[in-house]
Structure 1
Amino acid sequence: MIYKHGQYRIPHFSHKSKVDCIGFSENESQTHLKGKLMFKQQVEAMGHPVEIEATMMSIEQRADVFLPDDQLVLEYQCSPISFSEIARRTRNYRSLGYDVIWILGDRRRTGILRSEAVAKFARFHPQLGFYIIFYSVANNQFWLYFQLRELAGKIVSQARNFSTLAAILKFVKGYKQPATTAISLNKNRTSLLNQLKRIQQSIVLKNATYRDMVTRCYASGRIFVGCPMICHSKQGMGVPLFKRTILCWKVWLVLQLFESGQSDASNDQLNDLFVQSVKLFGRQMAQVDNYVRFFQIEFTNFIIALRTQGYVRHTIDGIKIIRQPEWFSGYDQKRRFIMTSGHLM
């Protein structure tokens, strides 16, 4: 113990370090404690050695549930926690060679499909995409939200529930993404109309999501909601990694490429544009290493889409602008085009 006698607090004793006291336990709710005990029982039922409240002296952290043979930590998060704290704990576990899965409690399930929560807790799997795991102590049930995507500023996903930890971990490990099926023109049309309506409503309500890009477009003599169709993917969705929305990011790129008065862009200029766009629109992920690579994929795919639609062509040094993408005069004109066109992209 340390005796403290300061200027503002009454004299008192405090611990030198939490990890020095093996009997120390964080003030936790009954839900949190029950969840950890349930994880321990289920891991033991799977035949794996497991430790609860495992003290890791070198990083001054205590893991909720630790699987030493699997080098895996399970953290059951029932209370609010900052992005920086999530990132710090995750980084510390990984410095020891341990993977960590954050499993969220009932109280965290409400509002999880928001970009801030996705940035904190989402993991990535090549087949599942971005995903988050929940566990309800009250219902003794796990929930998996996967294929997290952003649609006009809203996070959407697929969801499945599981009765055991073994079942959900098996699903995550062995999941194979179904083959992509072609989307009908009518379904694509409906999706784009719904997306356009949501964007227009947000703009009318002066939602902060689109405010900056509305202003940028206005300064260029353009109307944000009238952005070219190339800015909308066929499904209207993108990875949930962008501050504001992926649509804002694409509109910004179109303005930079086609409204600058230049007829071409060198590879160096494209790289600078990419770096700048990540700074402006990138959202760091606490659970995903090298998240910038996802932006690189999106950037490359967008340039390829511009080439495929005949707006640019690749050269040895970069790209050359062939023709300008068409902007719409406003919401009504764009809506009519989506409703009547036989070729939306």
Structure 2
Amino acid sequence: MLVAHTEQEMQIKAADAKREAIYFCPSCREQVILKRGRRTIAHFAHHAHSLCRPFSESETQAHLTGKWQIATYFGTGEVELEPYLKQIAQRPDLLLRRKHHSLAIEYQCSPISAIKLQDRNLGYQKAGLDVVWILGEQYLAKMKRVRQAEKWLRYSKKLGWYLLFWQTDQQQLVVWHHLTLSAMGELQGYVKTSHNGYFAQLKPVSVKVIKQQIQTQVQAGLHYKTPKWLRLQQFCYEHGSLLQDMPLVCYHFNGAEPLNCEAPVLWCFLMVVLLRSQRLGSLVRQLDFEKWAAKISIYFEGAQLIQCSTQQVIDSWGRQLEQFALLMQQHGILKRLDQKAWQLVAIP
């Protein structure tokens, strides 16, 4: 921990503490040890086998360093380090105090389960606090697909789907924003840091390469009778199609919402399979798209977007269906009649 209490109940930072003095944990009131050296950032630690719950997790030097840097980034005058919130028995890394509200900031360097993450969020919610999770730089290399990012993803009108990171070596905040999924299911978007501007995070993959990758996966999955691919093939067969007959338009389904942990091109194809089952010239409504998306949802692992509200997820699905309809329009398959209705003018 970076702060402790003196015998006079005064809070003191480890960087300002004196070795000969006695200090106590702000939570359990146990005496703590001051640790400070040339290669060690100043901090307090409990004695071995301490039962203090809020301060029971050991902290790495990277975590301690990152907390100091983030506090400096937001302005130490507005940030409280490691405040113990007695009513919920939780201790955020930082509490950013604003004029009209306060914000809990958690700097997460180590792995954490989705259940534990939800419990912490619920605790802050009970205390009337919003919480922002900033990930350590070791997470940067892992965030390639939705499965790695799902529990951290947040949405805002300004940033779209986004993730926050802190790099201790550069002492900078890194924002991945307006995140979407490539046709193959990789995260793509933009990066902004506190030191420089914007640049593309991922280079676009050609339709030719996407097609080759999907066809290879289909062939291998069916050859080895992988349950996932057999289920998809059975769905296609029941609706008069085959996985091997995926039309070219599906490979253009790029920039999908991060709602599923599978390649969006497969989701697009199952929607096309249901579209194929309609008669040429028939009316297709927004409600039909919603029913189809619900029908095929059992074939995909949905993302656990636990940092988001139900309404944000509903809105995201609305954007996904609109994107699908727009793709079908651009390829001459659907003709828009009004805001929520189309005519099927070609069979994909």
TM-score (norm 1): 0.68
> Structure 1 residues 318 and 147 mapped into 2: Cα distance closer, same or farther (>3 Å)?
closer
Matched, 1:29 2:47: no
Tell me which of 149, 152, 168 is aligned to 2:180.
149
Tell me which of 62, 65, 74 is aligned to 2:94.
65
SS of equivalent to 2:92: strand
Alignment of 1:9-88 (within 5 A): 21=28, 24=52, 25-30=55-60, 31-45=62-76, 48-69=77-98, 70-88=101-119
> Structure 1 residues 80 and 44 mapped into 2: Cα distance closer, same or farther (>3 Å)?
same
Q: Is the 8 A contact 2:232 2:299 kept in 1?
A: no
Q: Greater helix share, 1 or 2?
A: 1
Q: Which amino acid aligns with 1:233?
A: H
Matched residue, 1:324: 347
Q: Which segment is superposed worse, 83-92 or 208-217?
A: 208-217
Matched, 1:233 2:252: yes
Matched residue, 2:15: none
> Structure 1 residues 295 and 225 mapped into 2: Cα distance closer, same or farther (>3 Å)?
farther
Structure 2 CA distance for aligned equivalents of residues 80 and 205 of structure 1: 33
Tell me which of 253, 258, 264 is aligned to 1:246.
264
Matched residue, 1:194: 209
> Structure 1 residues 132 and 266 mapped into 2: Cα distance closer, same or farther (>3 Å)?
closer
Matched residue, 1:104: 135
Matched residue, 2:43: none
Q: Which amino acid aligns with 1:196?
A: K
Matched residue, 1:283: 303
Q: Is the 8 A contact 2:165 2:175 kept in 1?
A: yes
SS of equivalent to 1:238: coil
Q: Is the 8 A contact 1:284 1:291 kept in 2?
A: no
Structure 2 CA distance for aligned equivalents of residues 228 and 204 of structure 1: 16
Structure 2 CA distance for aligned equivalents of residues 302 and 99 of structure 1: 34
Q: Is the 8 A contact 1:141 1:161 kept in 2?
A: yes
Q: What residue ranges of structure 1 are gaps of 5+ in the alignment?
A: 1-17, 179-186, 326-345
Q: Deviation at 1:66?
A: 0.7
Q: Is the 8 A contact 2:185 2:261 kept in 1?
A: no
Q: Deviation at 1:252?
A: 1.4
Matched residue, 2:235: 216
* Number of aligned residues: 286
Structure 2 CA distance for aligned equivalents of residues 249 and 162 of structure 1: 36
CA offset digits 1:240-297 (Å, max 9, x no partner): 2223122222111122232266955566544433444556544231222231211111
Q: Is the 8 A contact 1:264 1:321 kept in 2?
A: yes
Matched residue, 1:273: 292
Q: Is the 8 A contact 1:128 1:146 kept in 2?
A: yes
Q: Which amino acid aligns with 1:285?
A: L
Q: Deviation at 1:318?
A: 5.4
Structure 2 CA distance for aligned equivalents of residues 96 and 300 of structure 1: 38
Q: Which amino acid aligns with 1:106?
A: E
Structure 2 CA distance for aligned equivalents of residues 224 and 19 of structure 1: 61
Q: Deviation at 1:302?
A: 1.9
Structure 1 CA distance for aligned equivalents of residues 274 and 261 of structure 2: 18
Q: Which segment is superposed worse, 32-41 or 261-270?
A: 261-270
Structure 2 CA distance for aligned equivalents of residues 138 and 268 of structure 1: 51
Q: Is the 8 A contact 2:27 2:84 kept in 1?
A: no
Q: Deviation at 1:324?
A: 1.3
Q: What residue ranges of structure 2 are gaps of 5+ in the alignment?
A: 1-24, 31-51
Q: Which amino acid aligns with 1:299?
A: L
SS of equivalent to 1:242: coil
Higher relative contact order (CA 8 A, sep 6+): 1
Structure 2 CA distance for aligned equivalents of residues 304 and 220 of structure 1: 23
